[in-house]
Amino acid sequence: EPEVTQTPSHQVTQMGQEVILRCVPISNHLYFYWYRQILGQKVEFLVSFYNNEISEKSEIFDDQFSVERPDGSNFTLKIRSTKLEDSAMYFCATYRDTGELFFGEGSRLTVL
């Protein structure tokens, strides 16, 4: 069964450093998303991406965040200058046209 793949599974970084989280979507899926979950709590929407541009973003997705598909396959989330409060699980999800989103296993980010 096709799946969404995320790397790294866990990253530890110092506050102020840049972090890139990577996602390989299910092939032929057209919509891509990033969500964040802090300490196993609520799953928060960050951004949606379609046709090589951002469709929608939440208030969490401020100027320190960016997304792109650098090579037509990977879908990345960049945090330019990490803060302590960015520590969370980051989930990539993709969607085609069946209604549901398919989620990756997540990337755990720890900011020290």
Enumerate binding residues for other proteins (CB under 8 A).
4, 31, 33, 35, 40-45, 48, 50, 55-56, 91, 93, 95, 99-106
Q: How far is the CB of 112 from other proteins (least distance, A)?
A: 20
What tokens does 58 get? 């939440």
Q: How far apart are CA 47 and CA 33, in angstroms?
A: 6
Task: Kindly report the backbone phi and psi dihedral angles of residue 81, in degrees, each rounded to the nearest multiple of 5, phi listed first.
Answer: -135, 95
Write the single-letter amino acid at 80. R
Q: Of 34 and 82, which CB lies nearer to other proteins in the complex structure?
A: 34
Q: How far is the CB of 31 from other proteins (least distance, A)?
A: 5
Q: Of 20 and 101, which CB lies nearer to other proteins in the complex structure?
A: 101
Q: Of 5 and 74, which CB lies nearer to other proteins in the complex structure?
A: 5
Q: How far is the CB of 16 from other proteins (least distance, A)?
A: 27
Q: How far apart are CA 86 and CA 95, in angstroms?
A: 25
Q: How far apart are CA 108 and CA 38, in angstroms?
A: 10
